[in-house]
Structure 1
């Protein structure tokens, strides 16, 4: 999936402008990068368009996965994107659904199984039949 399509799909799912969607995507990906190990982050990053990769670049601080649950994930996305937590939950779902469409070879499913069980409510909408949009 190319960059414009990724951004357009998140914008549509969140009911925001493309510019705001980019901010929401970056907030979600930066939080995801904190939750995954450096190798897991790189596996995901290589499948995304270049403009989406910066929040996923590992640093010495993000090489090891931080251990935090789904509520903390949503709180961090909310803080980074300056939205209330209910909206951040919706944003996270929209980005996860679009990520699932964008990556190949079951990479998204592999990512999901690495997350604790309490993330299920965040990722299940992305896994539901019919969640994917038709690719252009």
Structure 2
């Protein structure tokens, strides 16, 4: 999936007023997602995305390496913390951050390989699983 198509879908799904808002939301969610999942998984996800979007995931993975975390462990935080990070990065209220996160994850579900999205879903706690498309949320654990 190409960059413009992804941003357009995020804008539509989240009901955002313009592409700039969709770009900010997508970047904020990808960066936060990159912090939450294992750095190795973030790198694999980035490889399947357009380079400018994958850069958000790679930056989080690189930060994890500098922080001394291995490639197998992401930060552990819940939905409240996830939404708070997205909110701060995108400059939106927490409820909008949850809505935007769900939209970005739905677009990612169509852009990434099913196997990779299965790994993301498996890494999510039950509350974070609420952000995933309904077919994936059942696998969150």
Which aligned runs of 4 or more in structure 1 are off by greater than 4 angstroms?
none
1:47-86 matched pairs, under 5 angstroms? 47-57=48-58, 58-59=61-62, 60-61=66-67, 64-86=73-95
CA drift of 1:105 comes to 3.8
1:34-53 matched pairs, under 5 angstroms? 34-53=35-54
CA drift of 1:124 comes to 3.9
Cα distance in 2 for residues equivalent to 1:90 and 1:99:
14
Deviates more, 1:8-17 or 1:95-104: 8-17
Figure out how many residues of one structure are paired with residues of the other and give that number: 128
Q: Deviations over 1:53-75 (max 9, x none)?
A: 11111212375411111111011
**Under a length normalisation based on structure 2, what TM-score does the superposition of the two structures give?**
0.83
**Gaps in structure 2 of 5+ consecutive residues:** none
Q: Tell me the residue number matched to 1:96.
A: 105
**Under a length normalisation based on structure 1, what TM-score does the superposition of the two structures give?**
0.86
Cα distance in 2 for residues equivalent to 1:108 and 1:52:
16
Residue 126 of structure 2 is aligned to residue 117 of structure 1: yes
Q: Give 1 or 2: higher helix fraction.
A: 2
Question: Residues 3 and 52 of structure 1 are in contact (CA less than 8 Å); yes or no, is this contact kept in structure 2?
Answer: yes
Q: Tell me the residue number matched to 1:22.
A: 23
Question: Residues 83 and 97 of structure 2 are in contact (CA less than 8 Å); yes or no, is this contact kept in structure 1?
Answer: yes
